Structure 1
Amino acid sequence: MHLKPNTMKLQATTTTTVALLILLLLGSSSFHLSMAGSAFCDGKCQVRCSKASRHDDCLKYCGICCAACNCVPSGTSGNKDECPCYRDKTTGKGARKRPKCP
């Protein structure tokens, strides 16, 4: 069987495209897994953010703080003295400085 040059080009392009898509899928799934928090932080932050009105934001910032400090205060609010690192994290400097961790 003899293929025409245009058919061979199309076949090579299709193969390359499929290979790139597979690499993209594999890369994105491993990136998602690397961004996943630890079981410790996930569990502690679920409790901490269980009553938060902005649950997703609370989980995001709690996870960041937990990863950096390796602790999360008990309860759904307050108790930040249990974890000074968590308590002292802020979003910036100057007048706009606010607590980062929920």
Structure 2
Amino acid sequence: MKFTMANLLFVSLVLSSSFIQLSFAAYPAAPVSPPSPAPPSFCDSKCGERCEKAGMKDRCLKYCGICCQECKCVPSGTYGNKSECPCYRDKKNSKGNPKCP
């Protein structure tokens, strides 16, 4: 008798947990819209200043533009000052090196 009651309780718990999971799956999370990118003219002018003295200007402008679009800011000057824009500072490439010039 005790064994049958224990089995019945166990089966009911398993079934109820599967119904709970199904009920949560029925309500998808509200979509989060990504932040709007910075205007190209803003990034072009800021990255032009940032990459003015770069040895590989084309590469600098490319990566600066990518970072600017995502972060909506570019540090002042031609080198350093990355503390002004934490997003820009913290972006890393696949090797773990800084992505943004």
Q: Tell me if TM exceeds 0.5.
A: yes
Stretches of 4+ aligned residues off by more than 4 angstroms = none
Residue 86 of structure 2 aligns with which residue? 84
Distance 2:87 2:96 in 1: 16
The one-character-per-residue Cα deviations of 1:12-57 (angstroms, maximum 9, x if unpaired) are xxxxxxxxxxxxxxxxxxxxxxxxx710000000000000000000
Residue 74 of structure 2 aligns with which residue? 72
RMSD of the TM alignment (CA)? 0.9
| Cα drift, residue 89 of structure 1 | 0.3
Percent identical pairs in the alignment equals: 65
- State the TM-score, normalized to the length of structure 2: 0.61
Gaps spanning 5+ residues in structure 2: where? 1-38
Distance 1:72 1:50 in 2: 13
- State the TM-score, normalized to the length of structure 1: 0.60
| Cα drift, residue 82 of structure 1 | 0.1
The one-character-per-residue Cα deviations of 1:36-87 (angstroms, maximum 9, x if unpaired) are x710000000000000000000000000000000000000000000000000
Which structure has the larger Rg?
2
